Amino acid sequence: MRLVDKVAIVTGGGSGIGRAAAIRFAKEGAKVTIADIDSTGGEETLGLIRESGGKAIFVQTDVRDSYQIKKLIDNTTSTYEGLHILVNNAGIGHSEVKSIDLPEEDWDRVIDINLKSVFLGIKYAVPELIKSGGGAIINTSSLLGLKGKSYQAAYNASKAGVVLLTQNAALEYGKNNIRVNAIAPGVIDTKIIESWRQNERKWPIISRANALRRIGTPDEVANAILFLASDEASFITGATLSVDGGGLTF
């Protein structure tokens, strides 16, 4: 087991990639805090982990809110010993519209949930990671943080921001033995891609737009998150790992 005695927080742990990562971490011996705005999803993940003998708690959290992020971290460190791993993963998409038609409120919501949340996670977790002697932060960016796509202005900008926030934190806290990396998933089979899946004309193209000609699974992304969280990645920091079936090169 690769995460024995480690304490980890996974945001967006109530669904998709975050759920798969939380379950994987628990199987590897970590004590996991599942954070999500959706209590039904969060409790479901909690049940799945406990059923298979893992240790976890759920803390309902809106990752846009600094007070709730502080409470999430306090709840975790008071329940378990310290904090070693933070996965800043919660995120949303937005409807496919030209930038000139994107409502300002939608821009703000996407930037707050996908990017400001990563800043808040780093801001409040780093002091606890330092107290624990160091650790790892993994931020979920996207293929669309590395490559532009029409009608995705806010999502593109938020996920590109995550890539450089990752490099920034890696530089600032490397001396504290904290590694900070990002993952950049391609099209993965979760709720967030539901509207693309409904598009009968575009889905056959979108779902095969990579070298492997298929979409990925949440477990395939969780494997990459686990690797970056584990000691096997001890000399990797500031990196963005594509988990996209070759989507970036396509």
Binding site for ligand NAD (CB under 6 A): 11-12, 14-18, 36-38, 41, 61-64, 89-92, 113, 140, 142, 185, 187-188, 190-193
Check: CB of residue 18 under 8 Å from CB of residue 42: no
Q: From the CB of 63, what's the least distance to ligand NAD, in Å?
A: 4
Rounded Cα distance, 90 and 190, in Å: 13
Q: From the CB of 177, what's the least distance to ligand NAD, in Å?
A: 26
- Taking the least distance from each CB to ligand NAD, the nearer of 11 and 33 is 11
173 part of the active site: no
Rounded Cα distance, 86 and 133, in Å: 14
| Choice among 67, 80, 151, 155 that is catalytic | 155
DSSP codes, 86-131: EEE----------GGGS-HHHHHHHHIIIIIHHHHHHHHHHHHHHH
Rounded Cα distance, 223 and 198, in Å: 28
Q: From the CB of 223, what's the least distance to ligand NAD, in Å?
A: 14
Rounded Cα distance, 248 and 250, in Å: 6
Candidates 55, 56, 17, 63; CA nearest to 36 is: 63
- Taking the least distance from each CB to ligand NAD, the nearer of 97 and 193 is 193
- Taking the least distance from each CB to ligand NAD, the nearer of 84 and 116 is 116
- Taking the least distance from each CB to ligand NAD, the nearer of 125 and 188 is 188
Q: From the CB of 60, what's the least distance to ligand NAD, in Å?
A: 8
Catalytic residues: 155
